Amino acid sequence: MKKIIHCDCDCFYASIEMRDDPSLRGRPLAVGGRPDQRGVVATCNYEARRFGIHSAMPMSQALRRCPDLVILPPAMEKYRIASRQILAIYRDYTDAVEPLSLDEAYLDVSQSSHHHGSATLIAQEIRARIADTVGITASAGVALNKFLAKIASDWNKPDGMFVILPDQVQDFVAVLPVKRLFGVGKVTTAKLHSMGINECKDLLTWSLADLTLHFGKLGNNLYQLCRGIDLREVDTSSERKSVSVEETYTNDLPDLAACVAEMPELYTSLERRADRAGAIPHIHKLFVKIRFSDFRVTTVECVGKNMSQEVYGHLLETGFARRHLPVRLLGLGVRLAEIDKGSSGQLTLF
């Protein structure tokens, strides 16, 4: 039986800033872009969350909700240093580590000999070492698969831990709201509620065929997850799936010509980033992302093994024609083909 730990640092960027400047503790704090330049919240501490502030919220809106909000720009190199320290701690216990971001990872400790194989004791020690070494708190969930471990790590946040034992899975999942299931967003939640499905126990009466009929491929996930089943392995490859750059503009780009004028600078930035990441030999698709003035987002992509400013121009024209509105954000990127595990030069998440 698998023993999976999901570790997640509490408000990571903000915690690092409060560690380095104790005067910030107890004050509402957000890390992100400037409110006068359409910046967004990257993360915020729990004092800020009491005002309803959350990640990806426009910083101007966050400031309206909390006029005393302290806003700091991201210090990415400082966060990466902390992330490497945390990753080193994880790998003292198992090689089966799947980083999800700088501050979050799955660990498969099924074969670990530490603490006589007790995943609970391993998770407790990891959290204590992160606090001692990095100076921030982390929460953890322990369960027999990734889905349950992820749910559990959020159960007693911040600075907490929750364990779901194998004989507790059925009762735990039965009363879990369907919105907590992996892959279920607002639209699917509303559809499920309209069908009288509010908790996982309500899904148990539906056959796989009926769920697939109503929800397509997601139906199979719903059928499995409401029974606490998740067969995904901890993926140790940590390969990049894409490389991209984007820019949010202080003033909306009024028309297609204005968007085209921004392309050379974005393209140059993308070339540099893709080259640094060693991604160029693995390019599989090119894509353009556009966020319009009404906040709607569209993405246009095509198959291609070489970056081309001309191709990006065609993709931009196609995307802009979908709404013909001023543009808040432009992004260019490449998607990468799966890399042969036997080849050299694996593209790491970090």
User: Which residue out of 104, 262, 310, 317 is catalytically annotated?
Assistant: 104
Residue 30 contacts residue 51 (beta carbons within 8 Å): no
In this structure, which amino acid lies at residue 312? Y
Rounded CA separation 6/140 (Å): 5
CA atoms within 13 A on the CB side of 166: 6
Backbone torsions φ then ψ of 195, nearest 5 degrees: -95, 10
**CA–CA separation, 6 and 96 (whole Å):** 12
Which residues make beta-bridge pairs with 40?
Answer: 58
Question: Whole-angstrom Cα distance, residue 133 to residue 234?
Answer: 25
Cβ atoms of 290 and 260 within 8 Å: the answer is no
- Yes or no: say if 249 and 167 are a contact pair by the CB < 8 Å rule: no
Between β-strands 104-108 and 4-9, what pairing exists: parallel, antiparallel or unpaired? antiparallel
CA neighbor of 112 nearest in space, from 104, 122, 97, 125? 122
8 is an annotated ligand-binding site residue: yes
Helix ranges (H only) for the chain are 12-20, 46-49, 59-65, 76-90, 119-133, 146-153, 169-174, 186-194, 200-203, 208-215, 217-225, 256-276, 309-320
Cβ–Cβ under 8 Å, residues 141 and 5: yes
Is residue 202 annotated as involved in ligand binding? no
Is 104 one of the annotated active-site residues of the chain? yes
Structure tokens at 68: 């005393």
Contact status, residue 238 vs residue 91, Cβ threshold 8 Å: no
Alpha-carbon dihedral 175, 176, 178, 184, rounded to 10 degrees: -170
**Can you say which residues are annotated as belonging to the binding site for Mg(2+)?**
8, 103
Name the residues annotated as catalytic: 104
